Amino acid sequence: MVLLRRVIGDALRARRQGQHRTLREVSTAANVSLGYLSEIERGQKEASSELLAAICEALGARLSELLGEVSGTLSLAEGMDGVLVPVDAESARAQKAKAADGDVSVSVRREPLKATLHATRKPQRDVVYAA
């Protein structure tokens, strides 16, 4: 089963690394401990909406953008058999699934007790929003 906190963590890490910023830089800007931000990025901790907003602000992103990315990744995962629902242990060991949709690719590696979802996105061009 894919955990929402892992997908959120992957999206945050991808944004941070895309900006060539360290955990320390972003944790300082978001006023969160480096260790806690690391746990969020690794999908080990659930971040509150307030904390997600602070991290997004530190990354120069809108929370809605991050959640939109996460939603797209989960939407792709829902279309893949057994990703968001349990599968029997034998087929879970043997199965590796991949899906692609435009500029997003998703690969899933299943083991008996967990599934790891890895999503990659092509870099986006800078978007300017009119006020």
**pLDDT by residue (tens digit) across 31-85?**
999 999 999 999 999 999 999 999 999 999 999 999 999 999 888 888 776 655 4
Supply the pTM of this predicted model: 0.64
Report if residue 65 sits inside a domain: yes
Report if residue 129 sits inside a domain: no
Report if residue 104 sits inside a domain: yes
Report if residue 126 sits inside a domain: no
User: Which residue range(s) make up the domain with 19?
Assistant: 4-121
Give the Cα separation of 129 and 24 in Å (integer). 28
- Per the structure, how many domains does the chain have? 1
pLDDT band, very low/low/confident/very high, at 9 (cuts 50, 70, 90): very high
Report if residue 48 sits inside a domain: yes
Report if residue 99 sits inside a domain: yes
**pLDDT by residue (tens digit) across 95-113?**
444 444 455 555 555 544 4
Phi-psi region of 79 (alpha: psi -120 to 50; beta: other; left: phi over 0): alpha
Give the Cα separation of 4 and 70 in Å (integer). 8
CATH number at residue 16: 1.10.260.40
Whole-angstrom CA distances from 27 to 7, 16, 83, 98 are 19, 11, 32, 33
Report if residue 106 sits inside a domain: yes
Report if residue 30 sits inside a domain: yes
Counting every residue written for the chain, the total comes to: 131
